[in-house]
Amino acid sequence: MIGNNSVVKLEGLGKVYKRGSEEIHALKDVNFSLPKGAFVSILGPSGSGKTTLLNIIGCLDRPSTGTVEIDGEDIGGLDEKGLVRIRREKIGFVFQQFYLLPGMSVRENIALPLLFSKKKVSDKYIENIIDMVGLTGRGKHKPNQLSGGEMQRVAIARALVNEPSIILADEPTGNLDLRNREIILELFSSLNQRGFTIIVVTHEIKVAEKTGTAFAMSDGALSAVNNIADYFCNLAVSRVMHI
């Protein structure tokens, strides 16, 4: 996807890890540009480079080669303080594990990024976020009083609270049952319609089909997926052939 109004732009991106004398090429010449308001999935088997790619977009890791622009800002020359600023202001993270603090209420977990950013916490604003993710009336509950799907919605609300340019979701439905997976997918779709840019790493065909646009990682290289159903069919055939 190429566009002048790119919220993510990667050019010639490479990432090499060293294991003793061995070099592991996790990413190889990745070129990727995503416009604001996009909703895409990143597919690929374990070890293909998906998480490395997400970590670099999220400013949790640095590339070995190439350039990264987030919301029009080249992050290559930023020090760690600058990367922290980008993460806090531009990126919302959602993971397979919910990472909620058990001693804090739903409201307090959601407000946590605002405290780190030293921003004023408005009760009305937090309540609006709670309503947005479908947890009206749950603000005072602790995580152990919630279902898995509700905990993931709290995690998504926490990712939204700083009004990020991009939401990065790494296997966000992986720990959920079918009903809660569908609820979370509908929530992401609703957030995308509100203008949030969302990148989802997934192994699930229903998640990929919900995003509508997919890219696949293979041995560190990124390519567009023209037909999501065919991709998963070919992947299943390949797995059977290797049994």
Q: Is the pTM value of this prediction over 0.85? A: yes
The predicted pLDDT at position 20 comes to 84
CA 83 to each of CA 61, 179, 226, 232: distance values in angstroms, whole numbers, following the listed order? 9, 37, 34, 35
Cα distance between residue 36 and residue 197, in whole Å: 6
Q: What does 166-219 look like in DSSP terms, one character per residue? A: EEEEESTTTTS-HHHHHHHHHHHHHHHHTT-EEEEE-S-HHHHHHH-EEEEEET
Q: In what order do the strands lie in the sheet with 73-74?
A: 22-35, 6-19, 65-70, 73-74
The predicted pLDDT at position 3 comes to 42
The predicted pLDDT at position 243 comes to 56
Structural domains for the chain: 6-100+164-241 (3.40.50.300)
The predicted pLDDT at position 79 comes to 93
Please check whether residue 203 is in contact with residue 228, taking contact to mean a CB–CB distance below 8 angstroms. no
Spatial CA neighbour of 53 closest among 238, 240, 217: 217
pLDDT along the chain (243 residues), means of 10: 72 92 92 95 91 94 95 92 93 94 96 86 93 95 95 96 94 91 94 95 92 93 94 78 58
* Lookup result for tokens 């760690």: 80
**Strand ranges (DSSP E) for the chain?**
6-19, 22-35, 39-43, 65-70, 73-74, 91-95, 166-170, 197-201, 213-218, 221-225
